[in-house]
Structure 1
Amino acid sequence: MTRRTAPLWAAFLLVHVLTAWLGWVYPSQPMGDVVLVYEPWSTSALTGGTIMGITEPWVYPQLALVPMLIVKALSLPLVATMGALGAYLVAWAVLVTLLDAVALWFLIGGRPSAPRRAAAWFWTAALLLLGPIALYRLDAVTVPLAIIGGLLLLRHPVVATTLLTVGAWIKIWPGALVLAAVVAARGRLKILLAAAGASAGIVVVLFLLGADQHLFAFLSQQTGRGLQVEAVAATPYLWAARAGHASVGYSFEILTFQVEGYGVPFVSDILTPIMLLTVGAITGLAAVKSARGGSFGRLFPPLALSLVTALIVTNKVGSPQFQTWLIAPLVLWFVYDRTRARVPAALVLVLCGLTCLIYPLTYDALLRTEFVPVLLLTARNVLLIVLLVIGIRSIVRVPIPSRR
């Protein structure tokens, strides 16, 4: 730690403490998933009950259970003084903070460059603006894995790809960074083989544990979902609900609020094909740039951001923690190409702030389709589309070296 990085470390840790504390005081249970879902799942797995993803189908890839079990183990010494749920919450915040601190060390350890310090300050600001949802969700575990993996891609591609692949087996989104690396890096074969090898190893272990019937249930479990209230495609239905032509209902099957109205099943059904087409088109555009000599530093960051943003914009789910997915590509963009990272970084900070205003601060009013939260959500979702356009435009603008 140097004089230049000491204030950064202090701010980073302070923001984690503040954000963890705010989870206890903000409305709408921003820590709800941790205590209402993760803790019971981990307890069941350790006490001979259902093991999600192994004995029962699950919406998450199977490695998602690993951090939940680690937190359960960390919480045991605190149970006597805080109770099982309180201890689990504290242990969850501690685990995420430790993982983030490790990733920050990879980012600014030693004598970091100005771009790396800027990336760290951006990350700190994003956490502060996004609030408790940045810590108290499973996605928070994958962000530091994605950052470390992205930082190691050029020097240690096998290690980096393995980390990103593990992250994708916790929550799918880090797989977008693997895809971006395969397209943008010169050593794409090594990256592809590392991803395939890591996935094969994980599948073998899961098969031996008895997950053969539910190995890829996390893919099929998503197909039958409705249109979640915060999804980009749900925005028109919220305005229709204000006019009395649609409504918001609760799905007890997947424990989330969804919009209900004319054409909702159709919109929900076509979003997955639209997602695949969008991701394919972005990948194809970047592949052309890479084949024509586009550099990794100019191509990889906007490609990673565009792919991740496309997963959010075209998703039938619109969970607030999805905004954490945007942090890793922007941190890496600062490192590889600081000048062009500024505009999308500013937009992501605005998105984080708007998301916190929506959830948890005005979420109850949003479910009643009141004007202000619906307007805030509309602005957030429009800006997500703008961010996607900026990312794609940056790919288009990647320079191609002249050949004489």
Structure 2
Amino acid sequence: MRRGLVWGCWLATRIVGLLIILDRFPYPRRGEILGDPAIYEEWSRILAGGAFPEGDVRWQYPPLAAPVMLLPRWLGGTYTTTFALVALAADLLIMWLLTRSGRPLAGAWVWTAGLVLLGPMSYVRYDLVVTVAAVAALLMLARHRIFGVLAAVGALLKAWPVLLLAALPRSRRGAEAAAAFAVTCGAVLLVFGLAQGRAPWEFLDAQVSRGLECEAVAATPFMIARLSSWDGTIVYQYGSMELVGPGVERAAALLPPLTVAALLVVAVLAWRGAGRGWNVAWGCDVAFAAVLAAVATSRVLSPQYLLWLLGLAAVCLAHRGSRQRPAVPLILAATALSQFLYPLNWPDLMAAQPLETWILAVRNLLVLAATVIAVARLRTGPSNAGQDPAPSVTGAALPAR
């Protein structure tokens, strides 16, 4: 009965979301969210000709993004509509994985509600496809080689799933999963490299050159300063709205080292915790904390990044032994505020209106608070209470599979 209820809610909300994309259901500023599919369609024409979008600084994706951008073109129909249907299929797959027999339904409820809170933009953004790979990888964490392959697929779609490797145990199984990840990445990159030379790597140049996006956590002081006398502005570059003005470049330069430091803290806590006993729920908790730390210290925090956090939060709550429950409501609240800001009140945020600016500050404080809580929850190590059936060990010894 409860499983039927969550599926019924999922179906009803997804029908409404699809109707909004098809312009069959009213939604304020619907046109604002359709800009990215137009860019994807432009890229698909270039990719269909056998080349990557070299020279386009908006192309910031690893090589496996190419088939995803091409898929709506291959399937036919209006590109935006077909892309939304592909995204809906990805959403359905995530929901199926979260509701498989024996899993707590809390994760499925988080996922169902999360996409409603983020809005129909979810279906016209590439990130939903990447989230499928990440969710599937973590839910296959007990099958270490499969996890390694799926995490590699995610990293080859968009780089952030490489952080899922933090979930691995200190054991032979963990080493084998990392090897599967490396072999999969190496094989795919070799194929694309032989076919296209350096072209598949062009996305790295654009990523390195990006500035401080106006929605990033680190941008909050500058956005608040816009309400008074700060002599800065917002410009469109590298595919997003970035801040330009006094102090921005220095702040942006500090963020990559800060990301490294935050991830090192997560790695140390994960290493210590794994030494006291490892289980799948603990691995998912570590991955969630690692991705949160990366998002909170990133130069970019686009609304679609909340899809990553929602997916990983749902996976954590799909395990009875997760310690990350206190952080999840903060992510849901941040997700709702993200839709309020984009697309519903985007012009007012760009115009430095006080309400939207302070709501952005609250949204970013929620993300930061969730990050601190998620990392802090790793200090106590894995929980042995209410565990789902999964391999669990103490120390470094795990049976080989």
TM-score (norm 2): 0.88
User: 8 Å contact 2:324–2:377 — kept in the other structure?
Assistant: no
Offset at residue 256 of structure 1 (A): 2.1
Other-structure match for 1:201: 187
Other-structure match for 2:126: 138
Partner of residue 225 from structure 1, selected from 204, 210, 215: 210
User: 8 Å contact 1:44–1:51 — kept in the other structure?
Assistant: yes
**5+ residue gaps in structure 1?**
79-86
1:122 aligns with 2:104: no
Offset at residue 183 of structure 1 (A): 4.7
- The letter for the 2-side match of 1:262 is P
User: 8 Å contact 2:273–2:381 — kept in the other structure?
Assistant: yes
Offset at residue 50 of structure 1 (A): 4.6
User: 8 Å contact 1:248–1:367 — kept in the other structure?
Assistant: no
Other-structure match for 2:388: none
- The letter for the 1-side match of 2:260 is L
Judged with a 3 Å threshold, the aligned counterparts in structure 2 of structure 1 residues 301 and 153 are, in CA distance, closer, same or farther, namely: closer
Q: How does 1:34-183 map to 2 (within 5 A)?
A: 34-35=37-38, 37-46=39-48, 48=49, 50-52=51-53, 58-74=59-75, 76=76, 78=77, 87-109=78-100, 111-113=101-103, 115=104, 117-154=105-142, 156-177=143-164, 179-183=165-169
RMSD: 2.4
1:359 aligns with 2:347: no
Other-structure match for 1:243: 228
Taking the aligned partners of 1:5 and 1:53, their CA distance within structure 2 comes to: 47
- The letter for the 2-side match of 1:169 is L
Taking the aligned partners of 1:185 and 1:107, their CA distance within structure 2 comes to: 27
Taking the aligned partners of 2:315 and 2:170, their CA distance within structure 1 comes to: 14
User: 8 Å contact 2:87–2:128 — kept in the other structure?
Assistant: yes
User: 8 Å contact 2:107–2:313 — kept in the other structure?
Assistant: yes
Offset at residue 208 of structure 1 (A): 2.0
SS at match of 1:295: coil
Cα deviations by residue, 1:33-86 (Å, 9 ceiling, x for unpaired):
112x1011002222x375236999941111112111111112x2x3xxxxxxxx
Task: Calculate percent identity across the aligned residue pairs.
Answer: 28
Cα deviations by residue, 1:72-117 (Å, 9 ceiling, x for unpaired):
112x2x3xxxxxxxx11111111111122123222223x444x1x2
Q: Which region of structure 1 is more displaced relative to structure 2, 159-168 or 336-345?
A: 336-345
- The letter for the 2-side match of 1:91 is T
User: 8 Å contact 2:141–2:280 — kept in the other structure?
Assistant: no
Other-structure match for 1:322: 305
User: 8 Å contact 2:281–2:322 — kept in the other structure?
Assistant: no
TM-score (norm 1): 0.88
User: 8 Å contact 2:321–2:383 — kept in the other structure?
Assistant: no
Taking the aligned partners of 1:298 and 1:40, their CA distance within structure 2 comes to: 41
Judged with a 3 Å threshold, the aligned counterparts in structure 2 of structure 1 residues 378 and 185 are, in CA distance, closer, same or farther, namely: farther
Other-structure match for 2:398: none
1:342 aligns with 2:325: yes
Taking the aligned partners of 2:320 and 2:203, their CA distance within structure 1 comes to: 35
Number of residue equivalences: 381
- The letter for the 2-side match of 1:203 is L
Taking the aligned partners of 2:314 and 2:330, their CA distance within structure 1 comes to: 13
Judged with a 3 Å threshold, the aligned counterparts in structure 2 of structure 1 residues 185 and 300 are, in CA distance, closer, same or farther, namely: farther
SS at match of 1:209: helix
- The letter for the 2-side match of 1:98 is A
Judged with a 3 Å threshold, the aligned counterparts in structure 2 of structure 1 residues 335 and 56 are, in CA distance, closer, same or farther, namely: closer
User: 8 Å contact 1:298–1:398 — kept in the other structure?
Assistant: no
Judged with a 3 Å threshold, the aligned counterparts in structure 2 of structure 1 residues 285 and 219 are, in CA distance, closer, same or farther, namely: farther
Judged with a 3 Å threshold, the aligned counterparts in structure 2 of structure 1 residues 357 and 182 are, in CA distance, closer, same or farther, namely: same
Offset at residue 400 of structure 1 (A): 8.9
Taking the aligned partners of 1:296 and 1:373, their CA distance within structure 2 comes to: 42
Taking the aligned partners of 2:194 and 2:58, their CA distance within structure 1 comes to: 16
Taking the aligned partners of 2:235 and 2:280, their CA distance within structure 1 comes to: 44
**5+ residue gaps in structure 2?**
385-393, 396-401
- The letter for the 1-side match of 2:155 is A
Offset at residue 16 of structure 1 (A): 2.0
- The letter for the 2-side match of 1:266 is R
User: 8 Å contact 1:351–1:380 — kept in the other structure?
Assistant: yes
SS at match of 1:16: helix
Question: Which structure has the highest helix share of the two?
Answer: 1
Offset at residue 316 of structure 1 (A): 0.8
Judged with a 3 Å threshold, the aligned counterparts in structure 2 of structure 1 residues 218 and 337 are, in CA distance, closer, same or farther, namely: farther
Taking the aligned partners of 2:56 and 2:224, their CA distance within structure 1 comes to: 41
Judged with a 3 Å threshold, the aligned counterparts in structure 2 of structure 1 residues 19 and 247 are, in CA distance, closer, same or farther, namely: farther
